[in-house]
Amino acid sequence: MHYFAYHDGVLHAEDVSLPRIAAEVGTPFYCYSTATLVRHVRVLEEAFAGQDAVICFAVKANSNQAVLATMARAGAGMDVVSEGELRRARAAGVPADKIIFAGVGKSREEMAYALGEGIFSFNVESEPELRALSEVAEGLGVTARVALRVNPDVDAKTHAKISTGKSENKFGIPYLDAPRLYAEARTLPGLDVSGIHMHIGSQITDLAPFRDAFRLMRDLTLELRGAGHAIHHLDIGGGLGVPYRGSNDVPPHPDEYAALVKEALGDLGARIYLEPGRMIAGNAGILVTRVQYVKAGAGKRFTIVDGAMNDLLRPTLYEAYHEVWPVLESRLAGPRVLQDIVGPVCETGDYLAIERELPAFEPFELLAVMTAGAYGAVMSSTYNTRLLVPEVLVDGSSFAVVRPRPSYDDLIGLDRLPPWLES
């Protein structure tokens, strides 16, 4: 559920009309809804009420400081994958003891920084990383709490590029190696081995892969405890899908997901950590773009808009489907035309939607690309020397630009001429 809806025939973000924001900010821009972000945290909290569970928002999904500060005030912890994300989470006011640091390639510098901040735990993904973390912690005279990320070899039945829990994926340690590596970890002086981590993929719309993974996590917890390891926390990752196609793809409700967690892991007496990204931010954001031209192609129409693949990479990178809504509701009553919604970037893959039956959009009208709040702005670039897309946060009847559009001088000024090309 989200708070983007038509009021008096015009699409609004909560109580703010999108044309009003467009007039002030220009297009394209991302627009996020505070009420939607907070609602998703509450829905998860309610689903997990009665379980000892901590929600750590996956910062990679949307790392705008205003979004993170909203999450922090809603009480969420954070899952970070770099020093940069850790710095963002801390700057947004997230207590260090609610932060988990994941990722296959943490550098020693990043480990030292995170230890200095006093984060809750590291999710370690390999044997050499275990050793490196122990050395860094020992050098600093501290102990690093760790969970090992275990790859359960479960098929998440999602897009191949966002599936992480198969044995051929780079993530985690093989399930069968876990007993040996936990035994080794216990001998390392800088580590306090406390948990198990699993994350099998993203945009998962079926509970079955979760059920399989949680069952394996349960078995492993019992086995490791049997071998004398104190397993205090279970980090079950993120991955819960969102409905990109309205009522046509309905992901499991958080209540069903929470019931599954309780059934599989509830009696183990371990604290559960969740790392949701998309489920919280996905439909809390949209990309608003303006039609530039309409061109008749051979057999279909091209609606050329000012947003492009550099602003929202998901359609071309993952063949992802995002609904496109006209900002004026009256356009929904007109006839539908087969069309591609494309941007100005010089790539055939530059589209926001392809082969869609949509209203016959006209130049200058505003369109909203829906469910773009997760993995949208964070994956944007300046390809084709396009300015980084601005971000706006709405709260009730207020809105604020939370990342302004840079100037061309800002962008080009990042480059430097070498001495031999100066003057």
Binding site for ligand LLP (CB under 6 A): 58, 60-61, 79, 102, 162, 164, 199, 202-203, 237-240, 275-279, 314, 318, 374-375
Helix (H) or strand (E) holding 314: helix 314-318
Neighbours of 147 (CB within 10 A): 24
Residue with smaller CB distance to ligand LLP, 197 or 218 = 197
Residue with smaller CB distance to ligand LLP, 12 or 106 = 106
How near is the Cβ of 39 to ligand LLP at its closest, in Å? Answer: 16
CA distance 352 to 192: 46
CA distance 209 to 132: 32
Residue with smaller CB distance to ligand LLP, 134 or 316 = 316
How near is the Cβ of 317 to ligand LLP at its closest, in Å? Answer: 7
Residue with smaller CB distance to ligand LLP, 229 or 314 = 314
Q: What is the dihedral of CA 188, 191, 194, 199, to 10 degrees?
A: -90
Residue with smaller CB distance to ligand LLP, 102 or 392 = 102
Angle separating helix axes 34-47 and 65-73, nearest 10 degrees:
40
CA distance 117 to 339: 51
How near is the Cβ of 237 to ligand LLP at its closest, in Å? Answer: 5
Residue with smaller CB distance to ligand LLP, 22 or 370 = 370
Residue 346 annotated as catalytic: yes
Residue with smaller CB distance to ligand LLP, 248 or 423 = 248
How near is the Cβ of 197 to ligand LLP at its closest, in Å? Answer: 8
How near is the Cβ of 281 to ligand LLP at its closest, in Å? Answer: 8
How near is the Cβ of 61 to ligand LLP at its closest, in Å? Answer: 5
How near is the Cβ of 130 to ligand LLP at its closest, in Å? Answer: 17
Using DSSP's 3-state secondary structure scheme, residue 290 falls into strand
CA distance 113 to 106: 11
CA distance 318 to 4: 24
CA distance 110 to 82: 7
Q: Which 8-state DSSP code applies to residue 404?
A: P
Q: What is the dihedral of CA 11, 15, 16, 17, to 10 degrees?
A: 30
Is the Cβ–Cβ distance between 272 and 51 less than 8 Å? yes
Q: Is 135 exposed, middle or buried (0-12, 13-18, 19+ CB in 10 A)?
A: middle
Point out the catalytic residue in the list 1, 298, 346, 421.
Answer: 346
Neighbours of 406 (CB within 10 A): 15
Angle separating helix axes 178-187 and 127-140, nearest 10 degrees:
20
234 - beta bridge partners? Answer: 196, 272
Largest Cα–Cα separation, the chain: 72
So which residues are the catalytic ones? 346
